[in-house]
Amino acid sequence: MVEGRKILGDPAAIKQQFPIFSEYPELVYLDNAATTQRPQQVINRINNFHQQENATIRRGVYQLSARATQEFEAARSTVANFFKAPQDDCIAFTQGATESVNIVARSIIKEKLKPGDNIVVSLMEHHANFVPWQMLSQATSTELRVVPITESGDLDLDKLNSLIDSRTAVVAIVHISNTLGTINPIKVITQMAHAKEVPILIDAAQSATLYPINLTELDCDFLVCSAHKMFGPFGVGVLYVHPRYHRQVQPYNYGGGIIRSVKVEGTEFLPYPHLLEAGTPNVAGVIGLAEAIRVIKKFDRESLVKQLHKLTQIARQKLADIEGLSLVGNPTLSSSIISFSLAGMHPHDVASFLNEDHIAVRAGQHCTQPLLDYLGWPATVRVSLSIYNNLQDVDRLADSLREMKDFLI
């Protein structure tokens, strides 16, 4: 039996592992695309580090430091194993997915760019995987090529293939859109890029938790994600770099912790991944991420994704039945993210009204302004479900929206 199967199909039992729901019993938390809640097991592990293990890593010869160093490096192995990376040293720890993308842009790709080259991104990218490439292209006189989407919200794969050519320096594509919920076929896209000998970066911020990723099989060049969307803490990110690029990585920050030797004449740095971990890292956060992964591995993720898909389909139908409510996008393959607009009401007003009913949703542009500009929406309301959401949450959302519509429109 898969460990944790006993609680599958019962989000209420899963919810009991997350103390925030005991603190706020009326809370319907539907903003998981922004950040997920943390289970007690993760909170306990982080607190335990602060209370019993706190020390800086690597440079101390005393027991606490040695133990912290061991736990930090064990976390690297845990992350590598979770994503089935070919080697533990493919994983570097950063401040988040945003910093991870910037590192790839400025510490790897920038070094190989020449005027006339191009960078390929998609229209559905989060600003974190759009703006760094836009800034880099402007700074280096290279072209930013943006892949359009179809009317349903799918990536235009034919156009993507045509935009990749011999002068493409990198393709940067999101796995799951944080606004439309579109699930992109990253294996196909990776093969498409590699067929033209172009490296590819995958933004897995929305997929890393529940959609198993086998990096050895996928063979992408770079992958990024954030701990706080994986039931882990803020301030910790993952950067995966394929071994074929390890020697090309340059330090992103300079300081202690990445040094092999410093002389007046010059400095020699440690190899990747350590050369990206300057200063004192977020040791407690990295250990917390490893603990979050241990929580995730208790569950049968395939079954959980199927449950969430069914719940999301029900939610989409209940929302679509509300007069004046427009769903944004209807991708062929979608995750548990739904964006919508309600006629006659600004999304911020909708979110504020829902908040009065203890329902937490996101309103705005979701860091995807180019996408919403293209779709003609100034802003939307976004609902994003996770493993602790259930049908009662969906019903409360729909009922509250109907009540709001009857009251204000």
Residues annotated as catalytic (active site), given as ranges: 367
**Best CA proximity match to 307, nearest among 367, 383, 390, 232:** 390
Which residues are bridge partners to 366 per DSSP?
none
Burial of residue 139, with CB atoms counted within 10 A of its CB: 0-12 exposed, 13-18 middle, 19 or more buried: exposed
- The answer to whether the beta carbons of residues 111 and 252 sit under 8 Å apart is no
Contact, 276 vs 238, CB < 8 A? Answer: no
Distances (CA, A) of 120 to 123, 129, 161, 193, 198: 10, 11, 10, 10, 10
The dihedral over CA atoms of 49, 54, 59, 60, expressed in degrees to the nearest 10, equals: -120
Q: Which residues contact 206 (CB under 8 A, 6 or more apart)?
A: 33, 174, 175, 176, 177, 178, 229, 335, 337
**CA 154 – CA 183 distance, rounded (Å):** 8
Kindly report the number of other CB atoms within 10 A of residue 179's CB atom.
29
Here the contacts of 209-214 (C-beta below 8 Å, separation 24 or greater) are 209/36, 209/296, 210/296, 210/301, 210/304, 210/305, 210/308, 210/387, 211/175, 211/176, 211/183, 211/301, 211/305, 211/335, 212/301, 212/302, 213/83, 213/84, 213/175, 214/83, 214/84
